A and B are shown apart, each in its own frame.
Chain A
Amino acid sequence: MSEMLLSVENLEAWYGDAKVLHGVSFELNKGEVLALIGANGAGKSTLLKCICGQLPKKTGRIAFKGEDIHKLVANDVVRKGIAMVPEGRRLFPSLSVEENLLLGGQVKRPGPWNLQAIYGLFPILKEKCDAPSTSLSGGQQQMVAIGRGLMSNPDLILLDELSLGLAPIVIKDIYALLPCIVGNGLTAILVEQDVTRALASAQQFLCVQEGRISLAGAPDAFTKDQVSAAYFGM
Protein backbone atom coordinates (compact mmCIF):
# COMPACT_ATOMS: atom_id res chain seq x y z
CA MET A 1 0.00 0.00 0.00
CA SER A 2 1.61 3.26 -1.02
CA GLU A 3 0.46 6.45 0.56
CA MET A 4 0.74 9.76 -1.29
CA LEU A 5 3.01 12.25 0.49
CA LEU A 6 3.47 15.08 -1.99
CA SER A 7 1.34 16.20 -4.86
CA VAL A 8 2.28 19.06 -7.16
CA GLU A 9 -0.35 20.33 -9.56
CA ASN A 10 0.19 22.70 -12.45
CA LEU A 11 3.06 24.54 -10.78
CA GLU A 12 4.29 27.67 -12.52
CA ALA A 13 7.12 29.78 -11.11
CA TRP A 14 8.95 32.98 -11.94
CA TYR A 15 12.29 34.64 -11.18
CA GLY A 16 11.25 38.25 -11.52
CA ASP A 17 9.54 38.42 -14.90
CA ALA A 18 11.18 35.30 -16.27
CA LYS A 19 8.92 32.27 -16.16
CA VAL A 20 10.94 29.20 -15.22
CA LEU A 21 8.36 26.48 -14.60
CA HIS A 22 5.47 26.00 -17.01
CA GLY A 23 2.83 23.81 -15.39
CA VAL A 24 4.65 21.02 -13.59
CA SER A 25 2.54 18.24 -12.06
CA PHE A 26 3.62 15.06 -10.30
CA GLU A 27 2.93 12.91 -7.27
CA LEU A 28 5.29 11.25 -4.84
CA ASN A 29 4.51 8.33 -2.53
CA LYS A 30 5.80 7.92 0.98
CA GLY A 31 9.14 6.14 1.22
CA GLU A 32 10.08 6.63 -2.42
CA VAL A 33 13.16 8.30 -3.85
CA LEU A 34 12.40 10.53 -6.80
CA ALA A 35 15.27 11.54 -9.07
CA LEU A 36 14.94 14.87 -10.80
CA ILE A 37 17.12 15.02 -13.87
CA GLY A 38 17.58 17.55 -16.62
CA ALA A 39 20.13 19.86 -18.21
CA ASN A 40 21.51 22.97 -16.51
CA GLY A 41 18.84 25.62 -16.24
CA ALA A 42 15.99 23.19 -16.91
CA GLY A 43 14.27 24.16 -13.65
CA LYS A 44 15.22 21.31 -11.29
CA SER A 45 16.52 23.48 -8.48
CA THR A 46 13.66 25.91 -9.04
CA LEU A 47 11.20 23.09 -8.46
CA LEU A 48 12.90 22.24 -5.17
CA LYS A 49 12.90 25.90 -4.15
CA CYS A 50 9.16 26.05 -4.81
CA ILE A 51 8.52 23.01 -2.65
CA CYS A 52 10.63 24.22 0.28
CA GLY A 53 9.13 27.71 0.19
CA GLN A 54 12.19 29.64 -0.95
CA LEU A 55 10.62 30.94 -4.15
CA PRO A 56 7.57 33.09 -3.44
CA LYS A 57 6.47 33.86 -6.98
CA LYS A 58 4.51 30.80 -8.05
CA THR A 59 1.03 29.57 -8.86
CA GLY A 60 -0.55 26.12 -8.75
CA ARG A 61 -0.90 23.76 -5.85
CA ILE A 62 1.65 21.96 -3.69
CA ALA A 63 -0.03 19.54 -1.30
CA PHE A 64 2.05 17.87 1.40
CA LYS A 65 0.30 15.20 3.48
CA GLY A 66 -2.95 16.54 2.04
CA GLU A 67 -2.31 20.13 3.13
CA ASP A 68 -1.72 22.94 0.64
CA ILE A 69 1.69 24.42 1.48
CA HIS A 70 2.36 26.51 -1.60
CA LYS A 71 1.86 29.80 0.22
CA LEU A 72 4.08 28.92 3.20
CA VAL A 73 7.52 30.48 3.61
CA ALA A 74 10.63 28.34 4.09
CA ASN A 75 10.73 28.51 7.88
CA ASP A 76 7.15 27.21 8.09
CA VAL A 77 7.64 24.52 5.44
CA VAL A 78 10.45 22.89 7.43
CA ARG A 79 8.11 22.64 10.42
CA LYS A 80 5.68 20.67 8.25
CA GLY A 81 8.43 18.11 7.66
CA ILE A 82 10.28 19.09 4.49
CA ALA A 83 14.04 19.58 4.81
CA MET A 84 16.25 21.03 2.11
CA VAL A 85 19.92 20.21 1.60
CA PRO A 86 20.79 23.14 -0.63
CA GLU A 87 23.05 23.19 -3.65
CA GLY A 88 26.60 24.14 -2.73
CA ARG A 89 25.97 22.94 0.86
CA ARG A 90 25.57 26.46 2.27
CA LEU A 91 26.99 25.68 5.71
CA PHE A 92 27.16 28.52 8.21
CA PRO A 93 30.83 29.54 8.25
CA SER A 94 30.83 31.08 11.71
CA LEU A 95 29.32 27.94 13.26
CA SER A 96 31.19 24.78 14.19
CA VAL A 97 30.23 21.42 12.72
CA GLU A 98 28.13 20.54 15.74
CA GLU A 99 26.46 23.94 15.81
CA ASN A 100 25.51 23.56 12.16
CA LEU A 101 23.90 20.22 13.00
CA LEU A 102 22.14 21.61 16.07
CA LEU A 103 20.73 24.44 14.00
CA GLY A 104 19.19 21.86 11.69
CA GLY A 105 17.45 20.39 14.74
CA GLN A 106 16.09 23.81 15.70
CA VAL A 107 12.52 22.86 14.72
CA LYS A 108 12.50 19.92 17.19
CA ARG A 109 10.31 17.47 15.29
CA PRO A 110 10.21 14.00 16.85
CA GLY A 111 12.00 11.18 15.04
CA PRO A 112 15.07 8.96 14.90
CA TRP A 113 17.64 11.60 14.00
CA ASN A 114 19.69 13.37 16.66
CA LEU A 115 23.37 14.24 17.08
CA GLN A 116 24.29 10.68 18.07
CA ALA A 117 22.51 9.19 15.06
CA ILE A 118 24.20 11.63 12.69
CA TYR A 119 27.60 10.87 14.22
CA GLY A 120 26.79 7.18 13.82
CA LEU A 121 26.12 7.72 10.12
CA PHE A 122 29.14 9.99 9.58
CA PRO A 123 31.73 9.10 12.28
CA ILE A 124 34.26 11.60 10.89
CA LEU A 125 31.95 14.45 11.90
CA LYS A 126 32.17 13.44 15.55
CA GLU A 127 35.95 13.79 15.41
CA LYS A 128 35.56 17.24 13.87
CA CYS A 129 32.54 18.37 15.86
CA ASP A 130 34.23 21.49 17.25
CA ALA A 131 35.99 22.46 14.02
CA PRO A 132 34.76 25.44 12.03
CA SER A 133 32.59 24.09 9.22
CA THR A 134 34.78 25.90 6.66
CA SER A 135 37.83 23.85 7.65
CA LEU A 136 36.27 20.60 6.38
CA SER A 137 36.82 18.99 3.00
CA GLY A 138 34.05 19.23 0.44
CA GLY A 139 32.81 15.72 1.12
CA GLN A 140 32.77 16.28 4.88
CA GLN A 141 30.90 19.54 4.35
CA GLN A 142 28.33 17.65 2.31
CA MET A 143 27.94 15.21 5.20
CA VAL A 144 27.28 18.14 7.53
CA ALA A 145 24.73 19.53 5.08
CA ILE A 146 22.92 16.19 4.87
CA GLY A 147 23.11 15.72 8.64
CA ARG A 148 21.79 19.23 9.19
CA GLY A 149 18.82 18.41 6.97
CA LEU A 150 18.15 15.12 8.75
CA MET A 151 18.30 16.75 12.20
CA SER A 152 14.85 18.24 11.63
CA ASN A 153 13.50 14.67 11.29
CA PRO A 154 11.77 15.43 8.02
CA ASP A 155 9.21 13.27 6.21
CA LEU A 156 10.59 14.52 2.90
CA ILE A 157 14.19 15.52 2.22
CA LEU A 158 15.20 17.53 -0.83
CA LEU A 159 18.78 16.85 -1.91
CA ASP A 160 20.03 19.42 -4.38
CA GLU A 161 23.16 18.46 -6.34
CA LEU A 162 24.78 16.23 -3.74
CA SER A 163 27.79 15.53 -5.93
CA LEU A 164 28.49 19.09 -7.06
CA GLY A 165 32.20 19.86 -6.83
CA LEU A 166 33.12 16.60 -5.10
CA ALA A 167 35.76 14.05 -6.08
CA PRO A 168 34.32 10.87 -7.67
CA ILE A 169 35.45 8.68 -4.78
CA VAL A 170 33.71 10.97 -2.29
CA ILE A 171 30.53 10.95 -4.35
CA LYS A 172 30.62 7.16 -4.32
CA ASP A 173 30.94 7.13 -0.51
CA ILE A 174 28.03 9.51 -0.07
CA TYR A 175 25.77 7.57 -2.43
CA ALA A 176 26.71 4.35 -0.65
CA LEU A 177 25.14 5.84 2.48
CA LEU A 178 21.96 6.95 0.73
CA PRO A 179 20.06 3.74 1.62
CA CYS A 180 20.86 4.37 5.32
CA ILE A 181 19.53 7.91 4.98
CA VAL A 182 16.28 7.09 3.23
CA GLY A 183 16.05 3.58 4.65
CA ASN A 184 13.58 4.17 7.44
CA GLY A 185 10.63 5.42 5.46
CA LEU A 186 12.06 8.82 4.58
CA THR A 187 10.96 10.14 1.21
CA ALA A 188 13.51 11.98 -0.91
CA ILE A 189 13.77 14.09 -4.02
CA LEU A 190 17.21 13.93 -5.53
CA VAL A 191 18.46 16.50 -8.01
CA GLU A 192 21.56 15.24 -9.74
CA GLN A 193 23.69 15.97 -12.78
CA ASP A 194 24.94 12.40 -12.92
CA VAL A 195 21.91 10.78 -14.56
CA THR A 196 23.08 7.17 -14.29
CA ARG A 197 23.77 7.47 -10.59
CA ALA A 198 20.50 9.30 -9.97
CA LEU A 199 18.40 6.73 -11.81
CA ALA A 200 20.16 3.86 -10.04
CA SER A 201 19.26 5.37 -6.65
CA ALA A 202 15.61 6.13 -7.36
CA GLN A 203 12.28 4.35 -7.71
CA GLN A 204 10.78 7.14 -9.81
CA PHE A 205 12.22 9.89 -11.94
CA LEU A 206 11.18 13.10 -13.59
CA CYS A 207 13.05 14.57 -16.49
CA VAL A 208 12.66 18.33 -16.67
CA GLN A 209 13.30 20.20 -19.86
CA GLU A 210 12.85 23.97 -20.19
CA GLY A 211 10.49 24.13 -17.23
CA ARG A 212 8.26 21.25 -18.33
CA ILE A 213 8.28 17.56 -17.52
CA SER A 214 9.48 15.75 -20.61
CA LEU A 215 9.47 12.21 -19.21
CA ALA A 216 8.36 10.58 -15.96
CA GLY A 217 8.05 7.10 -14.54
CA ALA A 218 10.14 4.27 -13.15
CA PRO A 219 13.78 4.30 -14.35
CA ASP A 220 13.64 0.75 -15.76
CA ALA A 221 10.51 1.49 -17.81
CA PHE A 222 12.50 3.44 -20.39
CA THR A 223 15.53 2.81 -22.57
CA LYS A 224 18.66 4.93 -22.34
CA ASP A 225 17.79 6.51 -25.68
CA GLN A 226 14.33 7.51 -24.53
CA VAL A 227 15.81 9.19 -21.45
CA SER A 228 18.48 10.95 -23.55
CA ALA A 229 15.84 12.23 -25.94
CA ALA A 230 13.80 13.64 -23.05
CA TYR A 231 16.90 15.10 -21.40
CA PHE A 232 18.13 16.96 -24.47
CA GLY A 233 14.67 17.73 -25.88
CA MET A 234 15.18 15.85 -29.09
Chain B
Amino acid sequence: MTWVNIIIQGILVGGLYALFAAGLSLIFGVMRLVNIAHGDLIVAVAYLAWVIVQVTGLHPLLSLILVVPTAMGFGYALQMGILNRTLGRDILPPLLVTFGLSVIIQNGLLSIFTADSRKLNAGTLEIASFTALPGVNIGYLPLLQFVVAIAVIMGLQYLFYRTALGRAFRATSDDSDTAQLMGLDRRRVFAWAMALCLGVVAIAGVFLGVRANFDPAIGPGRLIFGFEAVIIGGLGNLWGTLAGGVILGVAQAIGAHINPGWQVLAGHLVFLLVLAVRPRGLFPRMDG
Protein backbone atom coordinates (compact mmCIF):
# COMPACT_ATOMS: atom_id res chain seq x y z
CA MET B 1 0.00 0.00 0.00
CA THR B 2 2.98 2.27 0.56
CA TRP B 3 3.67 2.36 -3.17
CA VAL B 4 0.06 3.14 -4.04
CA ASN B 5 0.26 6.00 -1.59
CA ILE B 6 3.50 7.29 -3.08
CA ILE B 7 2.17 7.17 -6.61
CA ILE B 8 -1.06 8.94 -5.66
CA GLN B 9 0.84 11.69 -3.86
CA GLY B 10 3.11 12.00 -6.91
CA ILE B 11 0.13 12.31 -9.24
CA LEU B 12 -1.37 15.05 -7.10
CA VAL B 13 1.90 17.03 -7.04
CA GLY B 14 2.03 16.55 -10.79
CA GLY B 15 -1.01 18.82 -11.04
CA LEU B 16 1.09 21.70 -9.70
CA TYR B 17 3.84 20.96 -12.22
CA ALA B 18 1.26 20.92 -14.98
CA LEU B 19 0.15 24.38 -13.83
CA PHE B 20 3.78 25.56 -14.00
CA ALA B 21 4.01 24.10 -17.48
CA ALA B 22 0.68 25.14 -19.00
CA GLY B 23 1.56 28.84 -19.24
CA LEU B 24 4.99 28.06 -20.63
CA SER B 25 3.48 25.79 -23.26
CA LEU B 26 0.82 28.35 -24.18
CA ILE B 27 3.32 31.14 -24.76
CA PHE B 28 5.66 28.96 -26.77
CA GLY B 29 2.73 27.68 -28.80
CA VAL B 30 1.35 31.09 -29.70
CA MET B 31 4.50 33.17 -30.20
CA ARG B 32 7.47 30.79 -30.13
CA LEU B 33 8.77 32.62 -27.09
CA VAL B 34 10.74 30.68 -24.47
CA ASN B 35 10.05 32.62 -21.32
CA ILE B 36 13.09 32.18 -19.04
CA ALA B 37 11.40 34.37 -16.42
CA HIS B 38 8.40 32.04 -16.13
CA GLY B 39 9.52 30.49 -12.82
CA ASP B 40 10.35 33.89 -11.36
CA LEU B 41 6.93 35.20 -12.38
CA ILE B 42 5.38 32.29 -10.44
CA VAL B 43 7.42 33.25 -7.37
CA ALA B 44 6.62 36.95 -7.82
CA VAL B 45 2.92 36.08 -7.86
CA ALA B 46 3.34 34.08 -4.66
CA TYR B 47 4.80 37.22 -3.06
CA LEU B 48 1.98 39.32 -4.46
CA ALA B 49 -0.51 36.92 -2.87
CA TRP B 50 1.48 37.06 0.38
CA VAL B 51 1.22 40.86 0.43
CA ILE B 52 -2.50 40.77 -0.34
CA VAL B 53 -3.08 38.21 2.40
CA GLN B 54 -1.08 40.34 4.88
CA VAL B 55 -2.96 43.51 3.99
CA THR B 56 -6.51 42.20 3.58
CA GLY B 57 -6.44 39.11 5.79
CA LEU B 58 -8.03 37.07 2.99
CA HIS B 59 -7.55 33.31 2.81
CA PRO B 60 -4.72 32.66 0.30
CA LEU B 61 -7.03 30.82 -2.08
CA LEU B 62 -9.56 33.67 -1.94
CA SER B 63 -6.76 36.12 -2.70
CA LEU B 64 -6.82 34.65 -6.21
CA ILE B 65 -9.77 36.97 -6.87
CA LEU B 66 -7.30 39.85 -6.74
CA VAL B 67 -4.11 38.07 -7.75
CA VAL B 68 -5.37 36.63 -11.05
CA PRO B 69 -6.62 39.92 -12.59
CA THR B 70 -3.55 41.81 -11.37
CA ALA B 71 -1.22 39.23 -12.87
CA MET B 72 -3.19 39.21 -16.14
CA GLY B 73 -3.00 42.98 -16.41
CA PHE B 74 0.73 42.81 -15.75
CA GLY B 75 1.11 40.13 -18.43
CA TYR B 76 -0.72 42.23 -20.98
CA ALA B 77 1.40 45.28 -20.20
CA LEU B 78 4.62 43.26 -20.18
CA GLN B 79 3.89 41.94 -23.65
CA MET B 80 2.78 45.28 -25.11
CA GLY B 81 5.52 47.28 -23.41
CA ILE B 82 8.55 45.02 -23.72
CA LEU B 83 8.25 41.56 -25.22
CA ASN B 84 6.49 42.54 -28.48
CA ARG B 85 9.48 44.71 -29.32
CA THR B 86 11.80 41.71 -29.11
CA LEU B 87 9.83 39.30 -31.29
CA GLY B 88 10.99 38.83 -34.85
CA ARG B 89 12.75 36.32 -37.00
CA ASP B 90 15.58 35.96 -34.50
CA ILE B 91 14.70 33.92 -31.40
CA LEU B 92 17.66 35.23 -29.38
CA PRO B 93 16.42 38.72 -28.36
CA PRO B 94 13.28 37.49 -26.53
CA LEU B 95 15.37 34.81 -24.84
CA LEU B 96 17.87 37.39 -23.60
CA VAL B 97 15.19 39.84 -22.51
CA THR B 98 13.29 37.24 -20.49
CA PHE B 99 16.60 36.12 -18.98
CA GLY B 100 17.20 39.72 -17.94
CA LEU B 101 13.68 39.90 -16.59
CA SER B 102 14.38 36.81 -14.53
CA VAL B 103 17.45 38.46 -12.95
CA ILE B 104 15.50 41.67 -12.29
CA ILE B 105 12.58 39.86 -10.66
CA GLN B 106 14.85 37.77 -8.42
CA ASN B 107 16.84 40.75 -7.26
CA GLY B 108 13.79 42.96 -6.95
CA LEU B 109 12.12 40.38 -4.69
CA LEU B 110 15.33 39.97 -2.74
CA SER B 111 15.64 43.68 -2.03
CA ILE B 112 11.97 44.11 -1.11
CA PHE B 113 11.29 40.88 0.79
CA THR B 114 14.85 39.80 1.81
CA ALA B 115 16.06 36.22 1.41
CA ASP B 116 13.85 34.97 4.26
CA SER B 117 11.47 32.28 3.11
CA ARG B 118 7.74 32.92 3.34
CA LYS B 119 4.67 30.80 3.17
CA LEU B 120 1.00 31.38 2.46
CA ASN B 121 -0.96 30.06 5.41
CA ALA B 122 -4.07 28.19 4.33
CA GLY B 123 -4.99 27.21 7.89
CA THR B 124 -6.62 23.84 8.57
CA LEU B 125 -7.00 23.10 4.86
CA GLU B 126 -3.28 22.38 4.77
CA ILE B 127 -3.52 19.36 7.05
CA ALA B 128 -7.06 18.16 6.35
CA SER B 129 -7.21 14.78 4.64
CA PHE B 130 -9.39 11.76 4.18
CA THR B 131 -8.62 8.06 3.99
CA ALA B 132 -9.24 6.82 0.48
CA LEU B 133 -7.96 3.29 1.13
CA PRO B 134 -6.43 1.79 4.22
CA GLY B 135 -2.97 3.36 4.41
CA VAL B 136 -3.71 5.88 1.66
CA ASN B 137 -4.54 9.32 2.99
CA ILE B 138 -5.32 12.04 0.52
CA GLY B 139 -4.92 15.65 1.56
CA TYR B 140 -7.70 18.01 0.51
CA LEU B 141 -5.20 20.64 -0.56
CA PRO B 142 -3.19 18.45 -3.00
CA LEU B 143 -6.48 17.07 -4.32
CA LEU B 144 -7.85 20.57 -4.84
CA GLN B 145 -4.61 21.54 -6.54
CA PHE B 146 -4.93 18.60 -8.92
CA VAL B 147 -8.60 19.28 -9.67
CA VAL B 148 -7.78 22.94 -10.34
CA ALA B 149 -4.98 21.88 -12.70
CA ILE B 150 -7.42 19.70 -14.66
CA ALA B 151 -9.96 22.53 -14.71
CA VAL B 152 -7.34 25.00 -15.97
CA ILE B 153 -6.25 22.64 -18.73
CA MET B 154 -9.85 21.96 -19.72
CA GLY B 155 -10.53 25.69 -19.72
CA LEU B 156 -7.49 26.41 -21.91
CA GLN B 157 -8.42 23.56 -24.21
CA TYR B 158 -11.95 24.98 -24.58
CA LEU B 159 -10.64 28.48 -25.14
CA PHE B 160 -8.15 27.34 -27.77
CA TYR B 161 -10.49 25.18 -29.79
CA ARG B 162 -13.97 26.66 -29.24
CA THR B 163 -13.68 30.45 -29.02
CA ALA B 164 -12.84 33.33 -31.32
CA LEU B 165 -9.85 34.24 -29.15
CA GLY B 166 -8.53 30.69 -29.45
CA ARG B 167 -8.99 30.85 -33.20
CA ALA B 168 -6.99 34.07 -33.24
CA PHE B 169 -4.24 32.40 -31.15
CA ARG B 170 -4.01 29.43 -33.51
CA ALA B 171 -4.14 31.53 -36.67
CA THR B 172 -1.46 33.91 -35.42
CA SER B 173 0.69 30.97 -34.39
CA ASP B 174 0.26 29.39 -37.86
CA ASP B 175 1.01 32.47 -39.94
CA SER B 176 1.02 35.84 -38.27
CA ASP B 177 1.41 37.81 -41.54
CA THR B 178 -1.75 36.31 -43.00
CA ALA B 179 -3.52 36.70 -39.65
CA GLN B 180 -2.81 40.44 -39.93
CA LEU B 181 -4.67 40.40 -43.27
CA MET B 182 -7.71 39.11 -41.38
CA GLY B 183 -7.65 42.14 -39.14
CA LEU B 184 -5.83 40.54 -36.20
CA ASP B 185 -3.26 42.78 -34.59
CA ARG B 186 -0.58 40.31 -33.62
CA ARG B 187 0.72 42.54 -30.82
CA ARG B 188 -2.68 42.41 -29.13
CA VAL B 189 -3.13 38.70 -29.78
CA PHE B 190 0.25 38.07 -28.14
CA ALA B 191 -0.64 40.38 -25.26
CA TRP B 192 -3.85 38.41 -24.61
CA ALA B 193 -1.85 35.19 -24.69
CA MET B 194 0.59 36.59 -22.12
CA ALA B 195 -2.30 37.83 -19.98
CA LEU B 196 -3.80 34.35 -20.05
CA CYS B 197 -0.42 32.81 -19.26
CA LEU B 198 -0.03 35.10 -16.25
CA GLY B 199 -3.55 34.15 -15.13
CA VAL B 200 -2.41 30.51 -15.00
CA VAL B 201 0.87 31.58 -13.41
CA ALA B 202 -1.15 33.34 -10.70
CA ILE B 203 -2.99 30.14 -9.82
CA ALA B 204 0.27 28.16 -9.88
CA GLY B 205 2.01 30.77 -7.71
CA VAL B 206 -0.66 30.73 -5.01
CA PHE B 207 -0.68 26.92 -4.85
CA LEU B 208 3.11 26.94 -4.73
CA GLY B 209 3.06 29.37 -1.80
CA VAL B 210 0.43 27.39 0.09
CA ARG B 211 2.21 24.07 -0.44
CA ALA B 212 5.71 25.00 0.66
CA ASN B 213 8.07 27.77 1.65
CA PHE B 214 9.25 30.09 -1.07
CA ASP B 215 12.06 32.61 -1.37
CA PRO B 216 13.25 34.86 -4.22
CA ALA B 217 15.73 32.28 -5.55
CA ILE B 218 13.45 29.32 -6.28
CA GLY B 219 12.09 30.58 -9.62
CA PRO B 220 14.59 28.88 -11.94
CA GLY B 221 13.89 25.53 -10.27
CA ARG B 222 10.15 25.93 -10.99
CA LEU B 223 11.03 26.86 -14.57
CA ILE B 224 12.94 23.59 -14.94
CA PHE B 225 10.00 21.56 -13.58
CA GLY B 226 7.69 23.37 -15.99
CA PHE B 227 10.02 22.76 -18.93
CA GLU B 228 10.40 19.11 -18.06
CA ALA B 229 6.64 18.60 -17.84
CA VAL B 230 6.17 20.30 -21.24
CA ILE B 231 8.90 18.26 -22.92
CA ILE B 232 7.82 14.95 -21.39
CA GLY B 233 4.22 15.56 -22.47
CA GLY B 234 5.09 16.84 -25.95
CA LEU B 235 5.07 20.45 -27.12
CA GLY B 236 1.75 21.99 -28.06
CA ASN B 237 -0.42 19.38 -26.37
CA LEU B 238 -2.13 20.61 -23.20
CA TRP B 239 -3.33 17.19 -22.00
CA GLY B 240 0.19 15.92 -22.71
CA THR B 241 1.44 18.69 -20.46
CA LEU B 242 -0.77 17.41 -17.64
CA ALA B 243 0.53 13.89 -18.24
CA GLY B 244 4.09 15.27 -18.24
CA GLY B 245 3.47 16.96 -14.89
CA VAL B 246 2.06 13.77 -13.42
CA ILE B 247 4.96 11.65 -14.68
CA LEU B 248 7.42 14.14 -13.21
CA GLY B 249 5.54 14.21 -9.91
CA VAL B 250 5.40 10.42 -9.64
CA ALA B 251 9.08 10.07 -10.54
CA GLN B 252 10.02 12.56 -7.84
CA ALA B 253 7.81 10.86 -5.26
CA ILE B 254 9.35 7.47 -6.03
CA GLY B 255 12.87 8.94 -5.95
CA ALA B 256 12.18 10.62 -2.61
CA HIS B 257 10.92 7.36 -1.13
CA ILE B 258 14.07 5.50 -2.12
CA ASN B 259 16.32 8.23 -0.81
CA PRO B 260 15.21 11.74 0.21
CA GLY B 261 18.14 13.19 -1.74
CA TRP B 262 16.95 11.62 -4.97
CA GLN B 263 13.62 13.42 -5.25
CA VAL B 264 14.66 16.05 -7.80
CA LEU B 265 17.25 13.80 -9.42
CA ALA B 266 14.67 11.10 -10.20
CA GLY B 267 12.54 13.68 -12.02
CA HIS B 268 15.51 14.85 -14.08
CA LEU B 269 16.42 11.26 -14.96
CA VAL B 270 12.93 10.47 -16.24
CA PHE B 271 13.05 13.68 -18.25
CA LEU B 272 16.42 12.68 -19.76
CA LEU B 273 15.11 9.23 -20.53
CA VAL B 274 12.07 10.62 -22.38
CA LEU B 275 14.25 13.10 -24.23
CA ALA B 276 16.59 10.30 -25.33
CA VAL B 277 13.88 7.83 -26.37
CA ARG B 278 11.08 10.13 -27.55
CA PRO B 279 12.65 13.55 -28.27
CA ARG B 280 9.27 15.03 -29.28
CA GLY B 281 7.70 13.95 -26.01
CA LEU B 282 5.24 11.19 -25.24
CA PHE B 283 2.20 12.88 -26.81
CA PRO B 284 3.40 15.21 -29.55
CA ARG B 285 0.82 17.19 -31.50
CA MET B 286 0.06 15.37 -34.73
CA ASP B 287 0.47 18.38 -37.00
CA GLY B 288 3.42 19.78 -35.01
Query: A residues bordering B, Cβ < 8 Å?
Result: 52-54, 73-75, 78-79, 83-84, 86, 90, 92-95, 99, 102-104, 106-107, 132, 134, 148, 152
Question: Of B181-189, B216-224, B260-268, which stretch is located at the interface?
Answer: B181-189
Within 8 A of A (CB), among B177-205: 177-186
Residue ID in chain B nearest A52 by CB atoms: B181
For A95, list chain B residues within 8 Å (CB). 167, 170-171, 174
Q: Which residues of B contact A103 (CB under 8 A)?
A: 167-168, 171, 179, 182, 184
Determine the chain B residues whose CB is within 8 A of the CB of A93 once the complex forms.
174, 287
* Cα-based distance from A79 to B177 in the complex (angstroms): 16
Asked whether B170 lies within 8 Å of A74 as measured between CB atoms, the reply is no
Q: What is the CA–CA distance of A78 and B183 in the complex, to the nearest angstrom?
A: 6
- B182 touching A94 by the CB < 8 A rule? no
Give the residue name and chain of the A residue nearest to B285 (CB).
A94
Shortest beta-carbon distance from B93 to chain A in Å: 20
Give the residues in chain B near A52, CB-CB below 8 Å: 181
- Known contacts A92-B170, A94-B174; decide if A84 and B287 are in contact (CB<8 Å): no
Tell me whether A152 and B170 are in contact (CB under 8 A): no
Closest 5 CB pairs of A and B: A107-B183, A74-B180, A90-B178, A92-B174, A78-B183
Q: How far is the CA of A74 from the CA of B174 in the complex (A)?
A: 17
A103 to B173, CA, bound (A): 13
New contact pairs (16) apart from A74-B177, A78-B183, A86-B181, CB-CB < 8 Å: A54-B180, A54-B181, A74-B181, A75-B183, A79-B183, A83-B181, A86-B178, A90-B178, A92-B178, A92-B179, A94-B170, A94-B171, A94-B287, A106-B182, A106-B183, A152-B183
Question: Given the complex of chains A and B, what is the CA–CA distance between A134 and B186 in angstroms?
Answer: 23
| A134: nearest chain-B partner, CB-CB | B287
Query: Could you tell me the distance in whole angstroms from the C-beta of B253 to the nearest C-beta in chain A?
Result: 36
**A106, B168: Cβ atoms closer than 8 Å:** yes
- A152 neighbours in B (Cβ, 8 Å): 182-183
Nearest CB in chain A: distance from B109 CB, A: 38
Q: How many interface residues does chain B have, given as a range? A: 10 to 19
B90 at the interface (CB under 8 A from A): no
7 pairs of residues in contact across A and B, judged by CB atoms under 8 Å: A86-B178, A92-B171, A95-B171, A103-B171, A103-B179, A103-B182, A106-B168
Contacts of A75 in B (CB 8 A): 180-186
B133: chain A residues at CB < 8 Å are none
CB distance from B160 to the nearest CB of A (A): 10
Contact with A along B93-135 (1 / 0, CB 8 A): 0000000000000000000000000000000000000000000
- Chain A residues contacting B184 (CB-CB under 8 Å) are 75, 103, 106
Complex contacts, B186 vs chain A, CB 8 Å: 75
Q: How many Å from the CB of B125 to the closest CB on chain A?
A: 40
In the complex, A79 Cα to B184 Cα: how many Å? 10
B276 part of interface (Cβ distance < 8 Å): no
Q: A95-B167, A102-B167 are in contact. Are A107 and B174 (CB under 8 A)?
A: no
* A102: B residues at CB distance < 8 A: 164, 167
A84 to B175: give the CA distance in the assembly, Å. 15
Q: Output the nearest chain B residue to A149 by Cβ-Cβ distance.
A: B181
Residue among B164, B168, B171, B181 making CB contact with A78, cutoff 8 Å: B181
Residues on B with C-beta less than 8 A from A74 are 177, 180-181
Q: A82: nearest residue on chain B (CB-CB)?
A: B181
Chain A residues near B170 (CB-CB < 8 A): 92, 94-95, 99
Cβ–Cβ contact B183 & A84, under 8 A: no
Find the B residue at minimum CB distance from A152. B183
A94: chain B residues within 8 A (beta carbon): 170-171, 173-174, 287
Which residues of B have CB within 8 Å of A83?
181
Q: How far is the CB of B126 from chain A (nearest CB, A)?
A: 42
Q: Closest Cβ of chain A: how far from B84's Cβ, in Å?
A: 13
Closest Cβ–Cβ distance, residue B96 to chain A (whole Å):
25
* Most-contacted residue by chain B among A75, A83, A84, A134 (CB, 10 A): A75
Compute how far the CA of A93 lies from the CA of B182 in the bound complex, rounded to whole angstroms.
15
Which residues on A sit within 8 Å (CB–CB) of B185?
Answer: 75
State in angstroms the CA–CA spacing of A148 and B167 once bound together. 14
Q: Assuming the A-B contacts A102-B164, A103-B168, are A92 and B183 also in contact, with contact meaning beta carbons closer than 8 angstroms in the complex?
A: no
Q: Type the 1/0 row for B147-182, where 1 means its CB is closer than 8 Å to any CB of A.
A: 000000000000000001001101101110111111
B contact residues around A54 at 8 Å (CB): 177, 180-181
A101 to B174, CA, bound (A): 15
Chain A residues near B168 (CB-CB < 8 A): 103, 106
Q: Which of B164, B178, B181, B185 has the most CB of A within 10 A?
A: B181
Bound-complex Cα distance A40 to B76 (A)? 43
Q: For residues 134 through 154 of chain B, which have their beta carbon under 8 Å from a beta carbon of chain A?
A: none
